[in-house]
Chains A and B, each alone.
Chain A
Amino acid sequence: MEEKPKAVLIVGGGIAGIQAALDLGDMGIKVHLVERKPSIGGRMAQLDKTFPTNDCSICILAPKLADCFRHPNITLHTLSEVKEVMGQMGDFSVKLRKYARFVDEKKCVNCGDCAAKCPVKVPDEFDMELRKREAIYPYYLQGVPAVMTIDRENCLYLTREVCRICEKFCTREAIDFEQKDTDVMLNVGAIIVATGFDPYDPSGIPQYGYKRYRNVIISLEYERLICASGPTGGHLLRPSDDKPAEKIAFVQCVGSRDFKNNPYCSSVCCMHAIKEAILAYEHDPKVKSYIFYMDLRATGKGFQEYVARGEQEYNISYIRGRVAKITKDHDENPTVWYEETQSSKTKKMTTDLAVLATSLMPRRGVKELAKTLGVELDEYNFFKTDPFNPLDTTRPGIFVCGCCREPTDIPESVAQASGAAERAAETVMR
């Protein structure tokens, strides 16, 4: 074959998009990896550990981030969005909007002198708003590209034309307020969508008290709390009083398998709740965890053994029963009310911390993206596929993998990513 294969566009720089990019790059195919956030890494970068091996999440992800960054065949487009897609399979014209970072990526060495002096404090999205960050910030410590970003919504120069303090403290002269948003046209032969998920907002189930009770948190917040690079330095301190949480309730199926919210099973929550309970015990053997479940779905390799180990070695009790409501007492302790189905009794239990296993939902903005891509979504706004072509969207030449297809754990996302990469390679090499 004389003509070089066309490039592939990958939308979403989480573990699925990264894996697909690396597979395609290694096959000698050019890849454009597009990420909306300032750095690639996605949800996996926010996790402390992964099940069922309890590997440090960032430790296994970071080498892949670096590989993506250095790969001769991969071009990263962070802070970028797909705005237009024209053409057809084998020959797509894609318009990319690259938002200004206001920091020169080539000059910035991520030293942090700017952020140390930035006077603005806003909730940090990556740390689930459990701490505040500055208006010039690294998206997260191990983020790639490892450069600062100026948040245009909150920077006092970009919003009010005052300040410019960061500029005065940057010894590299990397701050560049002259940067403009630019549009880039790309010609690609295939597209892979890997936009991932957002957690369900449990304020929609008021009886659980999320946002009203400070010691009721969601699982992604828990991941940041127990993570060594998180807001507490890895100490599991509950929000109301910074006391270590020693009795923890994990409430399953919050927004999932719930006809008022998402009727589907979010597939990963049983396992991540067990993992989170194990981590708490590993941090402090005084911890006792209770997992309130409807069914424990442990259908992956090594998962059932993981469930058993949790009970035998890590002080976890599994209680079959759906939690009806959560109340709080004088000391902000969450009290969980439930029917224990094994004895058919309604009971309550007061704990230090309640962790809601929130449903996995498609990312906000997915409808707009689907429209831009010209592909269909299913009834829950996941990308539509059919059982015999599980990685093909409704438009030829556009493939899908990971949590934007359906709630999927990391190993499965990686496997799908390799599959989607292969489907895309087949298209561009044809």
Chain B
Amino acid sequence: MEEIKSFRDLIREVVETGICGKCGGCVSFCSAGELDALEMGENELPRYINEDNCLKCGICYLICPQTDTLNVELQEKFGWNPSIGNYQKVISAQTTDKKIKKICTDGGVVTSLLIYLLERNLINGAIVSKKTGRFARKAIIARTREGLIEAAGSTFSGSLHLEELGGKYTTYTPILSTVKSLEKRYLQDIAVVGTPCQINAIRKMQCLGIIPAHLIKYTIGLFCIENFSFNDVARERLEKKLDINLENIVKLNIKDDFIITLTKGVTIHVPLEEIDEVARPACFACQDFSNEYADISVGGLGSPNEYTTVLIRTELGSSVYDEALRKGYIQERTFEDGEESKLEKTKMMAKIVSYSRRKKMRAKERLSELGGGETIGGKA
């Protein structure tokens, strides 16, 4: 029988080639199952805790966003089509909550959608990342409105969403005493906000029907050019280059370029190419800008300030958005007339498509540099 590809192969094909996106999918699976073979190590890369614990089940290999064994199945399951994946419509929207408006990156739609889901009991919690320092984030499961608001606003540094879920969730339920404890809910639903690689790993897990992704009911995907690793060296270089003190940054955003808002209300626009050096190298091998497998994808690109571009993809995403809109958690950008609205939407789509193309091209180049062909795994 053919040897099953396992974490050894992931190390060789993904980690060592520098295309690991640090989504934490492999570790989340391994720790959720209490198999305890993997952990997130230095530089936030996955590694063996103890290789002897590895059962060589091969699941971590399948669910890695950088391997392609499940890609066809994923595409079929989500009705993916070329360019930017399946979608129903695109809109500019913003939160109606003043407090959120103040602290959010774009229009605060994500935080508002999550609050809607939480307040309507459609979820028990949401996995979001929370600032722990100016550039550091930590994934948390927010279970209250306050917890969500604390997590609003982005810093573009990676957060290990999935690992957090893996650790919080444990599968161990003694089967012959299925009588569950009172505290444990019999229906658990979680929403996740994540980058394309994180959502991709979740969807692959859902394709297989495995833990811990079975808890994830809603996925909100962020548009993503790249994330940055703000380690000391990179920070120093960036500070020099832009001639600013990074300590003075109050907000980071990416739209057409990298937008840095400083304490005194000064805004600097930096072309994306110029900050490539602090981008995580793995991001250059990623083909997904618009978060093609999320229920709803969001980002600043294409919308004016204080608005979020919302790309509604799945039926589930559509029902959540419509209800949140109806219940007044969010509001849509208004236009003079239908013509203008149509024009703006076309512009938004054009931008999303063009960014998606650029990211795909970049990934192809990067992957062919690595000599692995366009993809890793299965067919490569």
Contact = CB atoms under 8 A, between A and B. Distances in A.
Interface string B70-90: 000000000000000000000
Contact of A162 (B32, B57, B120): B57
Q: Is the interface of A mostly helix, strand, loop or mixed?
A: loop
Given A156-B210, A231-B186, A232-B186, A119 B176 contact: no
A111 B176 contact: yes
B43 interface: no
B171 A116 contact: yes
B174 A163 contact: no
Contacts of B35: 117, 165
A112 interface: yes
Contacts of B175: 112, 115-116, 137-138
Nearest to A157: B57
A168 B2 CA distance: 18
A179 to B, nearest CB: 17
Interface string A258-283: 00000000000000000000000000
Interface string B136-150: 000000000000000
Contacts of A332: 120-121
Interface stretch (B177-185, B218-226, B293-301): B177-185
Nearest to B56: A164
Interface string B1-43: 0101000000000000000000000000100111100000000
Nearest to A235: B182
A121 B211 contact: yes
Interface stretch (A187-195, A238-246, A312-320): A238-246
Nearest to A231: B186
Contacts of B185: 242
Q: Is the interface of B mostly helix, strand, loop or mixed?
A: loop
B33 A132 contact: no
Contacts of A122: 209
A233 B209 contact: no
Contacts of B172: 116
B173 A116 contact: yes
B208 interface: yes
B interface, size bucket: 20 to 34
A237 B186 contact: yes
Interface in A313-351: 332
A168 B210 contact: no
B182 A119 contact: no
B324 to A, nearest CB: 14
Interface string B195-219: 0000000000000111100100000
A interface, size bucket: 35 or more
B62 interface: yes
B209 to A, nearest CB: 5
What are the nearest 3 A-B pairs in CB distance? Answer: A112-B175, A162-B58, A121-B214
Interface of B: 2, 4, 29, 32-35, 55, 57-59, 61-62, 120-121, 171-176, 178-182, 185-187, 208-211, 214
Interface of A: 110-112, 115-117, 119-122, 130-132, 135, 137-138, 141, 154, 156, 160-165, 168, 228-229, 231-235, 237, 239-242, 332
28 contacts: A112-B175, A116-B172, A116-B174, A119-B32, A119-B57, A120-B209, A121-B210, A121-B211, A130-B186, A131-B187, A132-B214, A138-B176, A156-B57, A156-B210, A161-B2, A162-B61, A162-B62, A163-B58, A164-B57, A165-B35, A168-B55, A228-B179, A231-B180, A231-B186, A233-B181, A237-B186, A240-B121, A241-B121
